[in-house]
C-alpha cells in the first residue's frame, strides 16, 4: 500500500486518481448512451 | 352485474360458490395470525422477547429492511409523478396511480413498522412537540416522512373519492396534483438522503467500503433506481394478477412504461456505479477490496449495480420486456442488500462473529407480516377502486 506522510500527499494521490476516473467515466457515459439509444427510431 | 361493467365501476360481481379459501388467502391468513401473536408478545413482553437486538445492534431488520429498504422501494411515487407532471411525460400516466398507491402503502407500513421498534405509539409526535432542537437528522427524517405520508395520502384520495362518488372533493384533490408533486419531490430528496446521512455518525462502526462522505448522495441516487425498478416490478405483478382490472389505456401503455423506466433506471445505475467507484477512490480504500468484506462489496457493486445496469440497457436496446422485468427484480433485491449492508452486515465490522447480529425468527416474522399486510391492502384497493383503469365518469379529465 502507498505510504502517505502528509495530508497533501494523500490529497494529491486520491485527487489524481479521481480526475483520471472522471475522464474515463465521461467518455464511458458517451459510449453507454450510444449503446442504450443506438436502436431507437427517430 | 356483468363482468365488463364490474371492471369499469370497480364493484366486484358476486360469484356463487367461489370460495375464499384460496392458497394465497390461506398462507396470508396464517402469516397474519402469527404476526398478530408476535405483536401481542412484543407489546406485552418487550423487545428482548422477540428480537436479538443488543447494545451493539440497537437497530435490526425492522430498521434495515422495513424502514430503510421500505422507504427506498416506496420512491416510485415521487419518481413517477415527477416524470409525468413535472417533466410532462404523459405517456407514463397510467403508471402514476399504482405507483402513488405503492408509495403510500410503503410509507404507511414504514411508520407502522417503526412502532414495533420505538414502542410507545403515543410518543410518535414527540419530535414536533418535545425535543432538544431541529438540528438532528432523525428530526429531519421524522418531519419529512410525516409530511410526505400526508402528501401521498392526499395524492391517493382521487381514486377512493371517485369510487365513492364524491365528485367535488375529488376535483379539489386533483387540482392539488402539481403542488403535491413538487412538495413530494422536495421532501423525498431531503429524507432519502438523510437516511444515508444518519450513518455518517458512525465512521468507526461502518466498514470503510460502505462508509463515505457521499452516503447521503448514494442513498438518494439509489432511491431513484429503487423507485423506477419498483414501478416495473409492481406493474409486472399487477399485469399477472390483476389483468382483468386493467383498461385499454393501461394495457397499451405498459410496454412504453417498462421501456422508458428501464432506460432511465439503466442510466441512473450507470451514474450510481460511477459515484460508488469515485467513493472508493476519494477515501483511497482500494486495498479493502482484497478482503472478505471487499469481496462482498464487489458482489454488490458488480452483481447488483453493474449487472442490472447492463441488463436494463440490453433489454431496452433489444426491446426485450421479459429481460427488463426480471432485471427490475434484481435491482430491487440489490437495493435491499445495500440497505442491509449499511445498516447491519457491514455495521460493527470489527466485532467478532459470535457478537454479530442475526435476526430472531420473530423479527423476520413481523417483517413478513408487514409485507403481507401491504399486499393484502394493495389487493383490496386495486380490486375495488380505479387504480389500474380510468373511472368512466372521469375519462380524459387529467
Quick: pLDDT tens for B177-200: 899 999 999 999 999 999 999 999
Residue B156 grid cell: 391517493
d(CA B219, CA B373): 26
In which band, very low, low, confident or very high, does the pLDDT at B5 lie, cut at 50, 70 and 90? very low
pLDDT of residue B395 exceeding 80 = no
Taking contacts as CB-CB distances below 8 angstroms, the residues of chain B near A18 are: 278, 281-282
Mean pLDDT of A20-29: 97
Mean pLDDT of B200-215: 94
Contact yes or no for A35 and B267 at CB 8 A: no
Provide the pLDDT for residue B119: 87
Chain segment B107-145, per-residue pLDDT in tens: 999 999 999 998 888 888 888 888 777 788 888 888 999
Q: Is residue A13, in this structure, part of any structural domain at all?
A: yes
In which band, very low, low, confident or very high, does the pLDDT at A40 lie, cut at 50, 70 and 90? confident
Contact yes or no for B281 and A18 at CB 8 A: yes
For chain A, say whether B324 makes contact (Cβ under 8 Å).
Answer: no
R_g (Cα) of chain A, nearest Å: 17
B206 SS3 class: strand
Contact yes or no for A36 and B277 at CB 8 A: no
Residue with cell 390483476: B242
Contact yes or no for B281 and A21 at CB 8 A: yes
Domains and CATH numbers, chain B: 3-13+21-390 (1.20.1630.10)
Q: Is residue A2, in this structure, part of any structural domain at all?
A: yes
Q: Is residue A42, in this structure, part of any structural domain at all?
A: no
Q: By residue range, what is the domain housing residue A24?
A: 1-35
Cβ distance B67 to B192 under 8 Å? no
pLDDT of residue B261 exceeding 70 = yes
Cβ count within 10 A of residue B89: 17
Q: Nearest-CA neighbor of B47 among B36, B34, B59? A: B59
Contact yes or no for B283 and A14 at CB 8 A: yes
In which band, very low, low, confident or very high, does the pLDDT at B86 lie, cut at 50, 70 and 90? very high
Provide the pLDDT for residue B133: 75
Q: Is residue A29, in this structure, part of any structural domain at all?
A: yes
Closest residue of chain A to B312, computed from CA coordinates: A36
Top residue of A4, A32, A41 to mutate, by most chain B CBs within 10 Å, is: A32
Provide the pLDDT for residue B19: 76
Cβ count within 10 A of residue A2: 9
In which band, very low, low, confident or very high, does the pLDDT at A34 lie, cut at 50, 70 and 90? very high
pLDDT of residue B229 exceeding 80 = yes
Taking contacts as CB-CB distances below 8 angstroms, the residues of chain A near B319 are: 39
In which band, very low, low, confident or very high, does the pLDDT at B146 lie, cut at 50, 70 and 90? very high
Chain segment B354-390, per-residue pLDDT in tens: 899 999 999 999 999 999 999 999 999 999 889 888 8
pLDDT of residue A1 exceeding 90 = no
Lowest mean pLDDT among B160-164, B262-266, B280-284, B287-291: B160-164
Provide the pLDDT for residue B2: 43
Top residue of A17, A31, A36, A37 to mutate, by most chain B CBs within 10 Å, is: A36
Mean pLDDT of B158-163: 90
In which band, very low, low, confident or very high, does the pLDDT at B15 lie, cut at 50, 70 and 90? low
Query: Looking at residue B283, what DSSP letter applies?
Result: T
Contact yes or no for B274 and A25 at CB 8 A: yes
Spell out the alpha helix ranges (H) of chain B: 3-9, 23-45, 47-50, 61, 70-73, 76-81, 96-118, 126-129, 137-156, 158-164, 167-175, 177-197, 215-241, 248-282, 292-298, 307-318, 321-340, 361-382
Q: Is residue A40, in this structure, part of any structural domain at all?
A: no
d(CA B205, CA B348): 5
Chain segment B315-357, per-residue pLDDT in tens: 999 999 999 999 999 999 999 999 999 999 999 999 998 899 9
For chain A, say whether B213 makes contact (Cβ under 8 Å).
Answer: no
pLDDT of residue B169 exceeding 60 = yes
Contact yes or no for B277 and A32 at CB 8 A: no
For the entire predicted model, the pTM comes to 0.91
Mean pLDDT of B297-308: 97
Q: How far is B62 from chain A (nearest CA, A)?
A: 37
Give every CB contact of residue B138 below 8 A, 6+ residues apart in sequence.
Answer: B127, B198
Residue with cell 421500505: B70
Q: Total structural domains in chain A?
A: 1
Amino acid at each position: 500500500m502507498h505510504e502517505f506522510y502528509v495530508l497533501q500527499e494523500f490529497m494529491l494521490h486520491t485527487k489524481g486518481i479521481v480526475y483520471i476516473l472522471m475522464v474515463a467515466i465521461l467518455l464511458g457515459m458517451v459510449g453507454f448512451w450510444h449503446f442504450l439509444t443506438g436502436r431507437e427510431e427517430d | 352485474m356483468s363482468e365488463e361493467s364490474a371492471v369499469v365501476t370497480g364493484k366486484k360481481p358476486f360469484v356463487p360458490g367461489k370460495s375464499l379459501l384460496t392458497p394465497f388467502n390461506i398462507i396470508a391468513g396464517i402469516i397474519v395470525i402469527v404476526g398478530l401473536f408476535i405483536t401481542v408478545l412484543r407489546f406485552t413482553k418487550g423487545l428482548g422477547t422477540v428480537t436479538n437486538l443488543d447494545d451493539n445492534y440497537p437497530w435490526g431488520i425492522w430498521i434495515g429492511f422495513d424502514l430503510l429498504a421500505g422507504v427506498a422501494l416506496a420512491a416510485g411515487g415521487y419518481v413517477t409523478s415527477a416524470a409525468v407532471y413535472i417533466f410532462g411525460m404523459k405517456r407514463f400516466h397510467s403508471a402514476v396511480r399504482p405507483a402513488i398507491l405503492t408509495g403510500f402503502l410503503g410509507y404507511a407500513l414504514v411508520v407502522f413498522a417503526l412502532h414495533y421498534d420505538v414502542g410507545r405509539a403515543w410518543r410518535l409526535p414527540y419530535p414536533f412537540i418535545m425535543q432538544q432542537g431541529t438540528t438532528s437528522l432523525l428530526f429531519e427524517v421524522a418531519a419529512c416522512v410525516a409530511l410526505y405520508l400526508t402528501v401521498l395520502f392526499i395524492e391517493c384520495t382521487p381514486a377512493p373519492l371517485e369510487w365513492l362518488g364524491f365528485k367535488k372533493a375529488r376535483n379539489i384533490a386533483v387540482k392539488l396534483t402539481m403542488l403535491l408533486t413538487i412538495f413530494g419531490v422536495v421532501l423525498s430528496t431531503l429524507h432519502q438522503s438523510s437516511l444515508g446521512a444518519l450513518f455518517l455518525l458512525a465512521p468507526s462502526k461502518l466498514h470503510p467500503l460502505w462508509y463515505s462522505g457521499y452516503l447521503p448522495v448514494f442513498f438518494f441516487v439509489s432511491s431513484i433506481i429503487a423507485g423506477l425498478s419498483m414501478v416495473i416490478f409492481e406493474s409486472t405483478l399487477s399485469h399477472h394478477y390483476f389483468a382483468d382490472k386493467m383498461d385499454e389505456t393501461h394495457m397499451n401503455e405498459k410496454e412504453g412504461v417498462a421501456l422508458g423506466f428501464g432506460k432511465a433506471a439503466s442510466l441512473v445505475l450507470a451514474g450510481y456505479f460511477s459515484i460508488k467507484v469515485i467513493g472508493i477512490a476519494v477515501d483511497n480504500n482500494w486495498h479493502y477490496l482484497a478482503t472478505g468484506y471487499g469481496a462482498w462489496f464487489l458482489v454488490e457493486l458488480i452483481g447488483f449495480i453493474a449487472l442490472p445496469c447492463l441488463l436494463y440497457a440490453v433489454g431496452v436496446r433489444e426491446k426485450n420486456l421479459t429481460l427488463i422485468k426480471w432485471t427490475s427484480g434484481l435491482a430491487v433485491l440489490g437495493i435491499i442488500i445495500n440497505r442491509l449492508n449499511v445498516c447491519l452486515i457491514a455495521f460493527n465490522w470489527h466485532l467478532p462473529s459470535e457478537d454479530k447480529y442475526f435476526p430472531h425468527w420473530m423479527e423476520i416474522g413481523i417483517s413478513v407480516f408487514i409485507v403481507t399486510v401491504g399486499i393484502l391492502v394493495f389487493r383490496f384497493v386495486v380490486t375495488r377502486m380505479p387504480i389500474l383503469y380510468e373511472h368512466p365518469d372521469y375519462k380524459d379529465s387529467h
